[in-house]
C-alpha cells in the first residue's frame, strides 16, 4: 500500500502522474481567456479518460477549482428570472398552466402574469410551487 504525504499526495511511483501534469500545465490562478481555454483543454483530456489515478484526480480537482474561480469572476451567470424558472419547471414536469393552476390552487391569471414577466413570484406562489415541484423554496426565491 502506498503511503501518503501530509496533503494526500501519494508517495512513490503513483505521484508521477500529478507531477507530470503540474509540469505540463502548472496549477496557477487563471489570468486570461486564453489561459482559461488551455486549462479547459487539459480538463477535457482528463475527463475523456475512463479511469484516473489518485494524482490525476487531485490535479483535476485543483484545476477545476482554479477554472471555477475565474469563471465566477469573469463569466458570472445571473440568477434565472421568475418566468424562466417557472417555464423550466413546467417543461421539466410536462404540465400546462391550467394543470399547474388546478394542482396548486394558484389562479391561472397569476401564473400567466409571472410567465409574461408582468409579475414576480409572491411568497404564497413560492410556497405552492415549491411544494408542487418538490424543490426548496430558495430555488424560487432567488429574486426576492
The residue-averaged pLDDT of 76-89 equals 90
Is residue 21 within 8 A of residue 41, CB to CB? The reply is: no
Contact 88, 80 (CB under 8 A): yes
Average of per-residue pLDDT values in the chain: 88
Q: What is the pLDDT of residues 42-82, one digit of tens each?
A: 999 999 998 999 999 999 999 999 999 999 999 988 888 99
Region 83-101: mean pLDDT is: 95
The CB density around residue 6, as the number of other CB atoms within 10 Å, is 5
- Is the whole-model pTM more than 0.85? no
Alpha-carbon torsion (92, 96, 97, 103), positive or negative: negative
Q: Which of 1.10.530.10, 1.10.150.20, 1.10.287.3510, 1.10.260.40 is the CATH number of 82-140?
A: 1.10.260.40
Q: What angle do CA 126, 130, 131 make, to 5 degrees?
A: 120
pLDDT at residue 96 is higher than 80 = yes
Amino acid at each position: 500500500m502506498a503511503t501518503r504525504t501530509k496533503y494526500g499526495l501519494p508517495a512513490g511511483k503513483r505521484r508521477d502522474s500529478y507531477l507530470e501534469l503540474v509540469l505540463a500545465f502548472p496549477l496557477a490562478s487563471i489570468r486570461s481567456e486564453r489561459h482559461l481555454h488551455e486549462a479547459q483543454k487539459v480538463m477535457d483530456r482528463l475527463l475523456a479518460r475512463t479511469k484516473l489515478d489518485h494524482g490525476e484526480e487531485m490535479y483535476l480537482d485543483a484545476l477545476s477549482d482554479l477554472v471555477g474561480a475565474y469563471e465566477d469572476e469573469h463569466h458570472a451567470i445571473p440568477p434565472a428570472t421568475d418566468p424562466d424558472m417557472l417555464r423550466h419547471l413546467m417543461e421539466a414536469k410536462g404540465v400546462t398552466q391550467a394543470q399547474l393552476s388546478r394542482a396548486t390552487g394558484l389562479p391561472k391569471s397569476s401564473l400567466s402574469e409571472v410567465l409574461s414577466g408582468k409579475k414576480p413570484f409572491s411568497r404564497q406562489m413560492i410556497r405552492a410551487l415549491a411544494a408542487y415541484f418538490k424543490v426548496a423554496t430558495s430555488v424560487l426565491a432567488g429574486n426576492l
